[in-house]
A and B are shown apart, each in its own frame.
Chain A
Amino acid sequence: MPEIRGIRPAGNGPQPGNGFVVEMEGISKEFPGTKALDGVSFRLRPGEIHALIGENGAGKSTLIKILGGIYRADQGRIRINGQAVDIRDPQTARRLGIGVVFQEFNLIPELSVVENLFLSLEKTRAGLFLRRREMIRAAAAVLEKVGLDIDPTRKVSAFSVAEQQLMEIAKAILTEARILILDEPTAVLAAPEVANLFRIMREFKAQGRALAFVSHRLDEVLEISDQVTVLKDGANAGSLPNENVSRNDLIRLMVGQEFKDIFFQGEKKTAGGVLLRVSNLWVGDKIRDVSFNVRAGEIVALGGLEGHGQQTVLEALFGLHRHRGQVELEGRPVRLSSPREALKQGIMMVTDDRKGEGLALDLSVLHNLGLLNHGRFTGWGGVINSSREKALAGGVIDRLGIKTPSLGQQVKFLSGGNQQKILVGRITYLPRVRLLLFKELTRGVDVGAKIEIYNQLHDMVKDLAAEARIGILFYSSDMLEILGLSDRIVGLYDGRVTAVLENKGLSEEKLMSEIIQGAGKAGGGTGAAGEAAPAG
């Protein structure tokens, strides 16, 4: 496969008149009910890493889907290497040298890696019969380039999410993509995997290929990109080279607000007594002897590297995993054997997988809001009191500012941020809320909605501060979020608690090092207490 060496502008293909390999101008796209893009322009140079940022609903996803051939623009022109093109379907995009890696991978889990890499691109004899050995060889070669030393005949499902993402990139390389588009590539990666990804991205760049990526993680954007384009409400809000740009600058372009406004500087609330006490929690062999507390009126974060057990601990507290150890709520031991049990105890989990397990997409807003506790608006025999139900729902909608044309609107038509609000709004229906569990607090949510959610949290805690009864436990892959919101941080490493810190004067680096160093101390003490799993 020919590789272009040298720096831009690479002498490959028809020389673009003005040095751009991708030019999108005046792109507009409408969906029923929303105008996703309105006259947007986007230009990509060869040998450039270009970040595309903006709030959810700003249109970034739509823009790259148009480039990838999933959607067709209603208006506007696209030029690749100076030539006007009509990207009518993904195959056309591929032929033009555009490779897209979406957030939801397009890999077929039951098929092998090599079959996936060559899907619809198979090498065949007489156009029909597979040349397996050739494909396996080629697959191994390209996998090596992205740093995957694996057996390509294995099923994709045997590999981790990060590895699968690399496979998607390998696939793009295989199609000789000169233009690589990544949609939220780091959303599912842990730090070392992100570093690997960046290495590959830089190699691409060195080869003279053009790279565009969409991200919510502004730190990463600042670290790796050469150029940043900001979209806001479906229109351009600015495009600037990444020189002396700060996170605040970006946020201001995206949202129009200063960053420090985002996190409320807590009036130090006096925490109440111990609300949740977790003692010697074991979940399989993934969570080992975890103990920590959450006090009433407190926000505790489960911190550490992503994938080190934070999610499992949270889910176990919602009754989703069989566990050993003791959990006490307000001093009394509780058996959290199922979500139903957890809800009865006043423990509520807010998921990050909105569309998958958070919402019933075809059902209405009304339906989705009240589903945790029909008892709030039903009477004898489970019959629904219609006016009460609507009043309750209306109240939640007003208070949280959920934008919907009606209560009967199917939830799938709402924007991401509003959908998230529904998840949070459900809390009001529970008769008794003691502990709120947030999975990945604001993943994939734009800055604007994040702010609203933080404010809601703040209000919720403040409202109940007088009674100081609610506790909040969350985990997040956004360090700054953890630092900005929590009162205390419980650091997990490899399924063990390695640090418990008050959130005072901490920086990202300090926090991380405490957690990881704590692991060193704990790891050295294997064979100490907590190694033997408690019986029962």
Chain B
Amino acid sequence: MVSLTARLSGRGRLARVLSDRDWSSILIIYALLIGVVLLAGVVSPGFLTLQHLMDMTKQATPLIMATLGQAVVMLMGNVSLDLSIESVIVLTNVVCTTLFTRAGVDPFWLMMILMAMAVTIGLINGLGVTVFKIEPFIMTLGMMTILRGAALIVSGGTPGGKVPADLVALVKTRLLGVLPLVTVLWIILAGFIFLALTRTSFGRKVYLTGNNHRLAFLSGISPNLVKIMAYVICSTLAMGAGLELTGYIGTGSVIIGGGFSFMSITAAVIGGISFSGGIGNMLGPVGGALIMTVLMSLLTAVNIPQAGRFILQGVVILLFVTIYSLKDRESA
């Protein structure tokens, strides 16, 4: 009998990193993304210019970052999710503008404080879910409320103020005059997380924890630690998204990032992440976030009233997920 290893080494290396399900879902998402972009080009002239497409990628940055974080948490299984990210975004903005404008804190220290804040929030979420066994939905819901209050307190209800010039400049920067720096940033970020999840020991632990908590424990891993780290990663990414948005808007705001919690979850689900955990990769959610950004932009351009936009978003989400679900059942 020919040794299995000899036979197996024939196939491509990447092919075995991702499973068949992952590949087919990625294909669908990106095909749809192209479709939506083309549709937008038809409906709204000027959409298909390089400039505008680059703008789109820039606009998608915060959602992509938030979705990446959300996806990592969702991988933990048992309907794990993080509802608090939109409050993290607001809090980031408010803390940033308040400390900078009213307290004149140096941008470097500002960064440190924000990082510490994000990590702490992630730790609390993680501890609540693991040690106190609070369901993630409730835990992060509570956190969302608390942080929103905190944001209101810090801003005193009157947002506004200035943002460090460096940040604004960073967000505005375009390489070669056309490629937004933040786009490069999220590409690198997504790539990094993708590689970390598929090619490192940590990534293996993540998938294992999400797939079978008990087995992870019996294998000498601390699944609780992995879960806590997932929440920390998520909060940090949410903070990053908040920073980007802050630099973009250039001032304080209490409605910044509204709806991001649900949108990131939707983008992740569209991207093939399963609520039961342990299944899915990062390329899909990025595509999902891009699709949603394009759709939103499209709807604004076509001047559809708010009512229509909501309805459309809801219909699209349901449509997408139905197609997925049917596909999954077919292959099962």
Selected interface stretch from B8-16, B35-43, B125-133, B186-194: B8-16
Q: How distant is the Cα of A351 from the Cα of B221 in the complex, in angstroms?
A: 17
Cβ of A255 under 8 Å from chain B: no
Residues 184-241 (chain B) with a chain A CB within 8 angstroms: 199-202, 204-205, 207-208, 211-212, 214-215, 217-222
Question: Does A391 touch B at the CB level, under 8 Å?
Answer: yes
- Residues on A with C-beta less than 8 A from B8 are 390, 394, 406-407
Q: Tell me how far the C-beta of B204 lies from the nearest C-beta in chain A, rounded to whole angstroms.
A: 6
Is there an interface contact between A371 and B219, defined as CB atoms closer than 8 Å?
A: yes
Q: Hey, which chain A residues are within 8 Å of B199, CB to CB?
A: 383-384, 386
In the complex, whether B112 has a CB less than 8 A from a CB of chain A is: no
Q: Is the CB of B212 within 8 A of A359?
A: yes
Contact residues in A for B62 (Cβ distance below 8 Å): none
Contacts of B212 in A (CB 8 A): 357, 359-361
Q: How many residues of A contact B (CB 8 A)?
A: 43
Interface string of B80-120 (1 = CB under 8 A from A): 00000000000000000000000000000000000000000
Q: Give the residue of B4, B200, B214, B278 whose beta carbon is less than 8 angstroms from that of A363.
A: B278
Nearest B residue to A374, CB-CB:
B201
How far is B211's CA from A363's CA once the two chains are assembled, in angstroms?
A: 8
Q: Does B5 contact A (CB under 8 A)?
A: yes
Could you tell me which residues of chain A, from 407 to 438, have a CB within 8 Å of some CB in chain B?
Answer: 407-408, 410
Complex: how many Å from CA A161 to CA B177? 71
Does B19 lie at the interface of the complex (its beta carbon under 8 Å from any beta carbon of A)? yes
Q: Are B207 and A357 in contact (CB-based, < 8 A)?
A: no
Interface residues on B, range: 20 to 34
Closest A residue, CB atoms, query B207:
A363
CA distance A478 to B5 in the complex (A): 36
**Which of A360, A382, A390 contacts B215 (CB under 8 A)?**
A360
CA A383 to CA B198, docked complex, whole Å = 9
Query: Which chain B residues lie closer than 8 Å to A386 at the CB level?
Result: 13, 199
Measured between beta carbons, the chain B residues less than 8 angstroms from A189 are none
* Bitwise interface map of B from 251 to 292 toward A, beta carbon under 8 Å scored 1, else 0: 000000000000000000000000000110000000000000
Question: How far does the Cβ of B260 sit from chain A's closest Cβ, in whole Å?
Answer: 29
Question: Is residue A173 contacting chain B, with contact meaning CB distance below 8 A?
Answer: no
Grouping DSSP codes into helix (H, G, I), strand (E, B) and loop, the A interface class, with mixed when no group exceeds half, is: helix
> In angstroms, how far is the closest chain B Cβ from the Cβ of A376?
10
- Complex contacts, B205 vs chain A, CB 8 Å: 374
Instruction: Indicate if A339 sits at the interface (CB-CB under 8 A).
Output: yes
Contact residue among B5, B204, B208, B221 (Cβ-Cβ distance under 8 Å from A397): B5
What CA separation (Å) do A27 and B76 show in the bound complex?
A: 42
Task: Check B202–A361 contact: CB distance below 8 A.
Answer: no
Evaluate whether A339 and B214 lie within 8 angstroms (CB atoms) in the complex, with A384-B199, A394-B4 already known.
Answer: no
A393-B5, A397-B4, A404-B4 known; 13 new pairs, CB 8 Å cut-off, are A357-B218, A361-B211, A362-B279, A363-B211, A363-B278, A378-B201, A382-B202, A383-B199, A384-B200, A390-B16, A394-B8, A406-B11, A408-B16
- Check B303 for interface membership: any CB of A closer than 8 A: no
**Is the pair A407, B16 in contact by a Cβ cutoff of 8 Å?**
yes
The docked-state distance in angstroms from the alpha carbon of A349 to that of B11 is 34
Q: Are A360 and B278 in contact (CB under 8 A)?
A: yes
A364 touches B (CB below 8 Å)? yes
Closest-CB distance, A519 to chain B (whole angstroms): 32
Q: Counting CB contacts under 8 A, is A358 at the interface?
A: yes
Q: Does B3 contact A (CB under 8 A)?
A: yes
Given contacts A386-B13, A390-B9, A406-B16, contact A343 B220 (CB under 8 A): yes
A217 within 8 A of B: no
**B214–A356 touching, CB < 8 Å:** yes
Assess whether A127 is interfacial by the CB under 8 Å rule. no
Is A366 among interface residues, defined by CB-CB distance under 8 A? yes
| Contact between chains at A378 and B200 (CB < 8 Å) | yes
Q: Which of B11, B16, B202 contacts A366 (CB 8 A)?
A: B16
Asked if A394 meets B208 with Cβ closer than 8 Å, knowing A340-B220, A357-B215, the reply is: no
**Residues of chain B within 8 A of A462, CB atoms compared:** none
Kindly state whether residue A194 has any CB partner on chain B within 8 Å: no
Determine if B219 and A339 form an interchain contact, defined as CB atoms under 8 angstroms apart.
yes
The number of inter-chain residue pairs (CB within 8 angstroms) is 96
Q: CB-CB < 8 A to B5: which residues of A?
A: 390-391, 393-395, 397-398
Instruction: Determine the distance from Cα of A398 to Cα of B1 in the docked complex, in whole angstroms.
Output: 10
Residues of chain A contacted by B11 (CB below 8 angstroms): 406
Asked if B200 contacts A383 (CB within 8 A), the reply is yes
Bound complex: CA A351 to CA B212 (Å): 14
Give Cα distance in the complex from A404 to B3, angstroms: 12
Which 4 residue pairs of A and B lie closest in terms of their CB atoms, listed nearest first?
A394-B5, A382-B201, A374-B201, A340-B220
Offer 9 A-B interface pairs, CB within 8 angstroms, sorted by A: A318-B218, A339-B219, A366-B16, A371-B204, A383-B200, A383-B201, A384-B201, A390-B5, A390-B8
A359 and B201 form a contact (CB under 8 A): no
Interface residues of B in 67-89 (CB under 8 A from A): none
Q: Is A372 an interface residue (CB 8 A)?
A: yes
Which residue of the partner chain B has the closest CB to A356?
Answer: B214
How far is it, in angstroms, between the C-alpha of A404 and the C-alpha of B8 when the chains are bound? Answer: 11
Contact with A along B33-52 (1 / 0, CB 8 A): 00000000000000000000
Most chain-A CB neighbours within 10 Å: which of B16, B200, B219?
B219
**Known contacts A362-B211, A364-B19, A407-B16: A381-B200 contact under CB 8 Å:** yes
A38–chain B nearest beta-carbon distance, Å: 23
Restricting to A325-342, which residues have a CB under 8 Å from any CB of B? 338-340
Interface centre among B3, B212, B279 (most CB of A within 10 A): B212
A43 at the interface (CB under 8 A from B): no
Shortest CB-to-CB span from B234 to chain A, Å, is 20
Are A360 and B208 within 8 A (Cβ)? yes
CB contacts (< 8 Å) of A371 on chain B: these are 204, 208, 215, 219
Q: How far is the CB of A335 from chain B (nearest CB, A)?
A: 15
Q: Are B4 and A382 in contact (CB under 8 A)?
A: no
The answer to whether A367 has its CB under 8 Å from any CB of chain B is yes
Contacts of A340 in B (CB 8 A): 220-222
Q: A394-B3, A394-B8, A398-B3 are in contact. Are A363 and B208 (CB under 8 A)?
A: yes
Residues from chain B with a CB closer than 8 A to the CB of A343 are 219-220
Interface hits, B1-33 → A, CB 8 Å = 3-5, 8-9, 11, 13, 15-16, 19
Distance in Å: Cβ of B195 to nearest Cβ of chain A: 9
Q: A357-B215, A371-B219 are in contact. Are A408 and B278 (CB under 8 A)?
A: no
Nearest-CB residue, chain B, relative to A426: B219
Report B175 CB to chain A, min CB distance, Å: 28
Query: CB-nearest residue of chain B relative to A395?
Result: B5
A360-B212, A398-B5 known; A372-B278 Cβ under 8 A: no
B218 and A349 form a contact (CB under 8 A)? yes
Per the bound structure, the CA–CA distance linking A373 and B219 in Å amounts to 8
Assembly CA distance A435 to B215 (angstroms): 19
Residues of A within 8 A of B207 (CB): 360, 363, 367
Chain B residues in 8 Å Cβ range of A363: 207-208, 211, 278
**Chain A contacts for B220, CB-based, 8 A:** 338-340, 343-344, 372-373
- By the criterion CB–CB under 8 Å, are A339 and B218 in contact? yes
Of B5, B13, B200, B207, most A-chain CB atoms within 10 Å:
B5
Chain B's closest residue to A406 (CB) is B8
Q: Which residues of B contact A391 (CB under 8 A)?
A: 5
Minimal Cβ-Cβ distance residue in A for B209: A360
Q: Are B200 and A382 in contact (CB under 8 A)?
A: yes
**In the complex, A398 Cα to B9 Cα: how many Å?**
14
Residue of B nearest to A394 (CB): B5
